[in-house]
Chain A
């Protein structure tokens, strides 16, 4: 009897099925198995005894790893029996899975996921004061606003709020970058702020 919402899929080639497991179930299983293997493998790097504690530094992580392996296998078994069915736990998220197969949706999502990461990577060499406006504009564009006037206006508004709150009011130490000319730009902003505070 197929549970509602469960979609059996062929995973072992044409004509063969394995319960209600989908390709997604196997990917999920593979990723968690990889996490278990990597963390277990690396636990040998700190497999040292602690004089005051007989279980040592590895006992706790290895117990967690073992439990995670059991839960991963249990999850695979549950999906084998029931596919993507839900068990109705407390406070379950209402997130509805969105179809990413629409043209343009997947590349845009990849860009949305990568842009903040690139921004974070650039914080050390470029600094936040120079990179922030580009990052803000990129996010506005990726969120579907393609008219240049609103992009420019809102980028300026958000940048001013950000500078006003964290630099002028709170004087928070933020990454300034370590390469020229970005570092010089950050230094100029900080000098302007110092002059403003002196007024």
Chain B
């Protein structure tokens, strides 16, 4: 492994063009992640056509680097503006944004920098050491029933996050699942709910939906505060967390690395579920549960460690099975295909050089978060000093381009603004925006894997329980569901 890693590093840093592409990916990912309104996906969508002109290793490496640094960059906007750069940063905002409101933005961002780097580096190391054996294990043990079981568990966890009541949490997730049914059904390709609009046959793209639910709705919330004279400018703070403060959360970091890596390894799930589940576990294990959501450093640490830990793990199903774990890894499949390559078990035999350049680049990209992240963060924190009336149109313009660029459809811009209005009204009524978004993302994956799983077991649901991983996840989901139902009824009689 060490020789391969050194060879990959030598190939990465031995060619000036490859170095330039690596640096561009690191800075571009961080910047696009950290600018409210656009995300790493915007940059990746813009760069996709140009990647055909690069060498295959350079193209795949560029997207892998953007994935690592963009996942970290999205935390900055989640913390400073309550606008997660991508869905995996949504749980970061639960405590990160209240910390900004309490004048602790520097501390939250500092923790995000360090924990993203730790999560990412740990994940990159495990990825290098274990991709091949893990891929073999995953091929044998992970199938559609397991993925469906994980989606089931993830959705139940998501229903208890972010809403005013458990009922509204469930309604949020179900609305997300309902939106996900728009477009072709994943088994037979039958058009559903296109309401006479041909463009809707491809479904609701989740980039515009996410931009609308998070970025645009946040602009509307701030507009409301401005209009009613209740707007308070966020307090800028450059105080980073002390080593002791971070050391106190070492168990949370370790737990989040494990959760992140486990979720990331499962095809189709990616970093989003990792961040939600890690945040949920942090709350579950904490003695001071009531402090979460009000500006607790552990909330930021758990979400950010897990989502970056998932980036390395997400490469395993991508490279070993050819299955992308999210939007950006799906674009990486497109890069492979542009160069007449097919990610899958054969890629390790046919293109080992490519694999090790990508692995080395991901390791160094996570390391560079530590170095460049601190400098960049101090610059980005100054964005908070810009009056919101000037920042709002800039964010809306960037979001417009972000929504339009991936498919070139004006419909996507309209979907984004519609999602923004919906998000604003639902937030006012105590619904959970992260719940809706997770329902939207996992809906199609859940349906597809349920259908494939049922076909596999010849429609005998009992067969699901003959598969150990599936059984554990379903039982965990059912226990969470029962406890959630109990709380929904118990607190109905005794409100908190």
Which chain A residues have a beta carbon within 8 Å of chain B's beta carbons?
3-4, 6, 24, 28, 32, 35, 39, 42-43, 46, 48, 50-57, 60-61, 64-65, 67-68, 71-72, 74-75, 77-78, 81-82, 84-100, 102, 104-105, 108-109, 112-113, 116-117, 119-121, 123-124, 128, 132, 135-136, 139-140, 142-145, 150, 154-155, 158, 161-162, 166, 170, 172-175
Contacts and interface: CB of A to CB of B under 8 A. Distances in A.
B496 A109 contact: no
B284 to A, nearest CB: 9
Given A68-B171, A87-B165, A113-B421, A94 B404 contact: no
Interface string B394-415: 1011101100110010100110
A120 B179 CA distance: 21
Interface residues of B, number: 97
Interface in B360-381: none
Given A75-B171, A173-B408, A175-B404, 18 more contacts: A56-B188, A71-B174, A78-B488, A81-B493, A84-B430, A86-B430, A87-B166, A89-B165, A91-B279, A93-B162, A93-B432, A97-B428, A108-B227, A109-B227, A140-B389, A154-B393, A162-B398, A166-B401
Nearest to B169: A89
Contacts of A132: 397
Closest 6 CB pairs of A and B: A91-B94, A50-B188, A143-B389, A85-B495, A75-B167, A139-B393
A38 B225 CA distance: 34
B224 A109 contact: yes
B449 to A, nearest CB: 11
A102 B224 CA distance: 11
B414 A87 contact: no
Interface of B: 46, 91, 94-95, 97-98, 101, 160-171, 174-175, 177-178, 181, 185, 187-188, 190-193, 195, 216, 220-221, 223-230, 279-280, 283, 289-290, 292-294, 299, 387-390, 392-394, 396-398, 400-401, 404-405, 408, 410, 413-414, 416-418, 420-421, 424, 427-430, 432-434, 443, 447, 450-451, 454-455, 459, 487-488, 491-493, 495-496
Contacts of B161: 89-91
B293 A109 contact: no
B163 A92 contact: yes
Given A67-B174, A99-B228, A53 B451 contact: yes
A6 B496 CA distance: 11
Contacts of B224: 98, 100, 105, 109, 112
A142 B487 contact: no
Most chain A beta-carbon contacts within 10 A, residue among B91, B162, B174, B408: B174
18 contacts: A3-B495, A48-B188, A48-B190, A61-B193, A67-B174, A72-B171, A84-B164, A86-B496, A87-B488, A90-B293, A94-B98, A95-B428, A100-B228, A116-B216, A123-B413, A154-B390, A172-B46, A173-B408
A181 B394 CA distance: 26
A19 B26 CA distance: 57
A46 B427 contact: no
Contact of A87 (B91, B428, B496): B496
A120 B410 contact: yes
Contacts of B229: 102
B429 A60 contact: no
A87 B491 contact: yes
